[in-house]
Amino acid sequence: MYEATTNEIKVTVEPAYVVEHSSPTEGYYFWSYTVEIANLGEESVCLRTRHWRITDANGELQEVRGQGVVGEEPTIEPGTTFTYTSGAPLATPSGIMAGSYGMETQSGAEFDVDIPAFSLDSPFERQTLN
Contacts for 7 with CB less than 8 Å, ≥ 6 apart: 41, 103, 111, 113
Q: What is the DSSP letter of 107?
A: T
Give phi and psi for 95, each to the nearest 5.
180, -170
Q: Where are the domains of the chain?
A: 2-119
pLDDT in tens, 35-47: 999 999 999 999 9
Q: For residue 126, what pLDDT is reported? A: 63
pLDDT in tens, 77-103: 999 999 999 999 999 999 999 999 999
Rounded Cα–Cα distance for residues 36 and 3 (Å):
9
Q: Determine the average pLDDT of the residues in 21-37.
A: 96
Rounded Cα–Cα distance for residues 15 and 78 (Å):
26
Q: For residue 121, what pLDDT is reported? A: 93
Q: Determine the average pLDDT of the residues in 52-75.
A: 96
Predicted TM-score (pTM) above 0.95 = no
**Pick among 2.60.40.1470, 1.10.490.10, 3.90.1150.10, 2.60.120.10: CATH of 2-119:** 2.60.40.1470
**pLDDT above 60 (res 129):** no
